Amino acid sequence: MNNNSQIAKTVVTSQLITMEKYEQLLYKDSVGVYTCGFGRNMQSKGLSYPEALILLKNDIDECEQELLSNIPFYKNLDAPRQVVLLNMCFNLGLAGLMEFKNMLQLVSKGQYQIAAQEMLASLWAKQVPERAKTLADIMEKGHL
């Protein structure tokens, strides 16, 4: 890439940040096209796989920070049980995960088998049965 190309890209980036206005959430632009970010056409362009992986990593990092801030025992769990809570937080959001009061209390006491049973007895398990079975198995056995 030559210097002129780099200058052009830098100027256009600045212009588009100003002209497009950042929108965090999906919206319809002036011609009715679903758009987000700085004018990203989500109907025809969408997200590439590498872009989606970056978003996924960011979302996982955010979930982990929420767990560390809101579930005091999370940092002391072994990796398999952290995986379960992290996966559930991603799927349900922190507020949804916090509704699993009995399960979380059991996990905090190391009563993983009963915690797994609590997971499987939930509405969530009916909604996402394969995910729930997989995560309950990890919770119970402590193996990834």
Percent of the chain with pLDDT over 90: 96
Segment 96-110 mean pLDDT? 98
Mean pLDDT of the chain: 96
Q: How confident is the model at residue 33 (pLDDT cuts 50, 70, 90)?
A: very high
Residue 99: per-residue pLDDT: 98
Say which amino acid occupies 10.
Answer: T
Segment 64-71 mean pLDDT? 98
Tokens of 81: 């049980």
Q: Give which of 105, 104, 113, 101 is closest to 137, Cα–Cα.
A: 113
Contacts of 50 (CB under 8 A, 6+ apart): none
Q: How confident is the model at residue 2 (pLDDT cuts 50, 70, 90)?
A: confident
CATH 1.10.530.40 residue window(s) in the chain? 49-144
Architecture of domain 49-144: Orthogonal Bundle (1.10)
Segment 88-100 mean pLDDT? 98
| Separation between Cα atoms, residue 37 and residue 17, nearest integer Å | 10
Q: Is the pLDDT of residue 47 over 80?
A: yes
Give the three-state DSSP class for 8.
helix
**E strand or H helix at 110, and its extent?**
none
Residue 104: per-residue pLDDT: 98
Give the three-state DSSP class for 40.
strand
Tokens of 2: 């030559």
Residue 1: per-residue pLDDT: 67
Contacts of 97 (CB under 8 A, 6+ apart): 85, 88, 89, 104
- Order of strands, sheet of 40-41, starting from the edge strand that comes earlier in the sequence: 23-28, 34-37, 40-41
Of 112 and 4, which is predicted with more confidence? 112
